[in-house]
Amino acid sequence: MDMKSFFNYKLLLTSAFLYITTACTPEGLINKTKYDGKKVVNTCENFQNEVKALIEANSGPAKLRVSEYDNSQFDYFFLEPGQFEQKGDTVYFRLIGDLEYGKYLKKGVAVHVTGKYQGQEHLKDIEEDFSGDLGMLVVDEAYFKANQNPYFGYKLPVGTKLDGKQITLNFSIVQYKKGKVKKVFCNSVEVPIGPLDGSCCTDKPWEEVRPASIVALPDIDIKDETYRYKGFKGTLDLIFPMSSTKFKKEELMNVIVNYIEKYERDGFNVVSVNIDGYASQGGKIDYNQRLSEARSKAVADYITEYFSKKGKNIPISANGLGEDWERLDILTKTANFTDEERQQILDIAGSSQDPDEKEAQFRKMPHWKKFVKEVLENCRHTLITFTFDWQPDKMYIDYYPSTLPVISPELYNVSTKTMTIGKYIKGTDANKGLGILNKLIPNNEKPNLYAMRSTYYWGLSDIESAIKDIEKAQALDPNNDQYGIASLAFKTKFAYKYSLSDRMKMLDTYNDYVKKNPNNSGLLLNRAVMMEKVGYLSGAIKQFNALLSENQNGAAALNNRGVARLKANRITEAESDFKEAIALDENIAEAHFNLAVVYAYKGLTDKTIDELDRAIALDKSYKAEIYSNPVFSIMKDNPKFSKYRN
C-alpha cells in the first residue's frame, strides 16, 4: 500500500462530538483562484454548501467510528478521518470529507476555526466549568502547506476544560492584510447554520464498548460464623447368647450414660432409634426369623422405658431381619481360617441352596465348632442406630455423611466439632463457601450471613446475586452504613444495567458516604468510577489523580483513570495508564482488555489480538465480549480473529 492511498483512509468519530456550524454574509464573492489546474470562483454560497456537506459527513454523535484499516505497520497514532484525540491542552482531529482548503487559501484568505464547549445537561450542577469558548485555529495558506503532510489535521487549543464535554465548531472565511483581519466574508458567529443540538450523553458510545473498570470490594466488617453438622448417626451392636433374647443391659446403659447423654449435653439430642435384630445361621430359618424379631423387641422395650422415664417420646422402630448373611460374609473373610476352610464356608454361603440346606452343610464341616466361635456367635445380635439432631440453634449444615459406632472417637469429635466460615478471600473455594451459606441462611435470617454470602457471589462474578444479598443485609440492618457502601460498590460494577437517573442517584449517595468517610480509599475509588459512569469525566480523573498522588489503589486507580481518559478521548494517556497498571500487576485482566480496546480503536490488529489473548487467559468471560463489542466491529472480520468464534 502506498502512502497516498493509506492517508485517504476514513476515520472514526469519538465521544466528545464535533458539531459544525457556519454562515455567510450577503457578500457573495470571496476570491478567484486557480485550483487543480482550473479557474475557480469562490463564493460564500459555495463555502456554505461545502460546510453543509461537512456537517452531514461528520454527523452521528451517538456513533463510535473505529479505525477501518489495519495500521499495525505504523508505530505512531495515525488519526483516520473522523477520529480525534486530546493531548494535554490541545485536541487533534480530522474530519470526514474535509473542506478543500487549497482553493480558498489565496490572496490573504484564511479560515478561522473556533469552538465552543458545553457539558452534559445532567451534570450542569456538578461541572465546575460547564460551558465556554475554546481557542481559535487560523488556517492560512502557509499553515495549510506546512501541516498537510502526511495528512491535514486540526490542532485546536482547548485548555483543560474539555473532558466529557461537547464541542461545537464554527468556520469563518476572512481576509488578512499585513497580519490583520481586513474583511470577514462569511461570519458564522452572526448567522449560524447547521445543527446546534444540546449536549447528549458523550459517554454513550464508549459505554457500549464497555471498557472495564475495577471496583473495589468494600472491606465489610463481617464476623465469622460458627456452625455444626445438622446431626449424625451412631450405632451400637449388642451380642446375644444362642437362642436367647437376653442381652447385657448394663452394656447398653453404660453406652447411654457415657455417650448418648454426653452427646445430648453437647446439644445433640436423639430424635429416632432404629433397631435391627438378627439371628445366626445355627438353626431353622423360621425359628431364626422369630428370634430376630424378639431380640429387636426386647431392646426396643428397654430403650422406650429409658426415654419415657426422661419424659421423651422418641420414635423407635424395631425390625426382625432373620439370619445375618452379610455379617457372616464379612466375618468369614476376616476370621482366623485357613484358606481352604474360608473358601469352603464362602462356597456354601454363596450357593443357591435354601438357608436350611446351607446350615446343614455348615454342620458337616470339620471346622464347624471353629466356625461357630469365630463367626456365628457374632451374628446373634441387634444393631441399634441412634439418630441425633443439633438443637440449641439452627446454625448447621447437612448430617455428618458417615455412620459410626456410638463409642468411636471419630463420632465424639463430630459431636464436639465447631466449624467456622468467614467472608470470601481471594484464592479460597468460593463455590464451597457458597454451598455452606446456602444451607445456613434459610433457617437463619441474619444480616451478617447475607453480607457474607454477597462476598462469595462477588468472588464468583455473580454481581446480580451479590447485590440482592447485600441489599437484604441492608434491609435487615438499615443503620449499618457498610452494607450501603457495599451495595453501591456492587451496583457500580454493574452500572450499565441501571438508567442514567439511577446512576446519578447513586453518585449522590456516594457523596453522602464520602462526607462521613473522607479517608476511605476504596469508597473514593468507587465514587470516581461512578463519576465516569455518569459522564463526569473531569471529576473522575481528578479523583483518580488524588488517589495516585497518595499511592492508594495503585493498579486499580491507574486502570480506572485510563477508562475515564479513554472516554475523554485522551487515547494516548489512557494507553499509558493501562500499561502502567499492568506493570504493577500483570494479572489485571481489565487492563489487558482495555489496552485491546485502545489498539482496536487505532486499528492495530496484531497488538489487539495479543492483549485479548492475555485478557482471556486471565478471565475467560472476555471472549464473549469480542463479537458484541462495537470497537471490534471492523477488526472482527479479520481472519486472525476467527479463533475467538468458538
DSSP letter string, 151-174: ---EEEE-TT--TT-EEEEEEEEE
The segment with the largest mean pLDDT, out of 176-185, 488-497, 578-587, is: 578-587
Percent of the chain with pLDDT over 90: 61
**pLDDT at residue number 431:** 96
| Domain 205-213+498-646 = CATH 1.25.40.10 | yes
Q: What is the mean pLDDT of the chain?
A: 88
Report the pLDDT averaged over residues 156-175.
81
**Angstrom distance (rounded) from CA 5 to CA 288:** 102
Closest CA to 275 of 222, 215, 317: 317
Of 325, 370, 47, 90, residue with least CA distance to 188: 47
pLDDT at 226 over 60: yes
If pLDDT is split at 50, 70 and 90, which confidence band does 161 have? low
Taking only the tens place, the pLDDT of each residue in 427-475 is 899 999 999 999 999 989 999 999 999 999 988 989 889 999 999 999 9
| Least confident span in 170-179, 412-421, 607-616 | 170-179
Alpha-carbon distance of 194 to 47, in angstroms, equals: 13
Lookup result for grid cell 455417650: 259
Question: Residue-wise over 23-54: b if at least 16 C-beta within 10 A, else e?
Answer: bbeeeeebbebeeeeeebebbbebbbebbeeb
How far apart CA 228 and CA 251 sit, in angstroms, is 29
Considering the four listed CATH numbers 3.40.50.300, 2.40.50.140, 3.30.1330.60, 2.170.120.12, the one that applies to the domain covering 236-416 is 3.30.1330.60
Mean pLDDT calculated for residue range 166-175: 85
State the Cα–Cα distance between residues 25 and 184, nearest whole angstrom.
8
Output the CA angle 47-17-140, nearest 5 degrees.
Answer: 40
Query: Would you say 397 and 230 are in contact if contact means Cβ atoms under 8 Å apart?
Result: yes
More confident residue, 62 or 457: 457
User: Which uninterrupted H or E stretch holds 521?
Assistant: helix 521-533
CATH 3.30.1330.60 domain range(s) in the chain: 236-416
- 181 or 272, which is more confident: 272
Confidence of residue 6 (pLDDT cuts 50, 70, 90): very low
Residue 17 is given by DSSP the state -
- CA separation for the pair 53, 41 (Å, rounded): 19
The per-residue pLDDT for 78 is 72
pLDDT of residue 75: 66
- Domain made up of 217-224+422-491: CATH architecture: Alpha Horseshoe (1.25)
In this prediction, residue 5 has a pLDDT band, given cuts at 50, 70 and 90, of very low
pLDDT of residue 15: 34
From-to residues of CATH 1.25.40.10 in the chain: 205-213+498-646, 217-224+422-491
- Report helix, strand or coil for 518: coil
Is pLDDT at 591 greater than 90 in this prediction?
A: yes
- Cβ 399 vs Cβ 229: under 8 Å: yes
Residue 511, C-alpha cell as written in the block: 457523596
Give the residue from 30, 204, 229 showing the smallest Cα distance to 122. 204
C-alpha cell at 528: 470516581
How many helical (H) and strand (E) elements, i.e. helices and strands, does the chain have? 24, 18
Cα separation, 567 vs 534, in Å, equals 11
- Give the model's pLDDT for residue 208: 82
Distance (Å, whole) CA 572 – CA 90: 13
pLDDT at 336: 93
Pairing of strands 18-22, 166-177: parallel
Residue 20 confidence (pLDDT) = 55
Question: Amino acid identity of 622?
Answer: Y
What integer pLDDT is reported at residue 485 of this predicted model?
92
CB 612 within 8 A of CB 644: yes
Question: Average pLDDT, stretch 320-326?
Answer: 96
Distances (CA, A) of 595 to 212, 293, 379, 459, 638: 10, 78, 74, 24, 19
Task: Work out the average pLDDT over 392-420.
Answer: 91
pLDDT of residue 7: 27
Segment 592-635, tens digit of pLDDT: 999 999 999 999 999 999 999 999 999 999 998 888 898 998 88
Per residue in 533-576, pLDDT tens? 999 999 999 999 999 999 988 999 999 999 999 998 899 999 99
Report pLDDT for 300: 97
Max mean pLDDT among 87-101, 196-210, 389-403, 532-546 falls in 532-546
For the stretch 187-219, pLDDT in tens is: 654 433 333 333 344 556 787 888 999 999 877
Count of beta carbons in the 10 Å neighbourhood of residue 289: 16
- Please state the pTM of the whole predicted model: 0.72
pLDDT for 60 equals: 62
Sign of the Cα torsion 134, 138, 139, 142 reads: negative
- What residues pair up with 29 in beta bridges, in sequence order? 43
Q: Give the separation between CA 233 and CA 399, rounded to whole angstroms.
A: 8
pLDDT band at 22 (very low <50, low <70, confident <90, very high): low
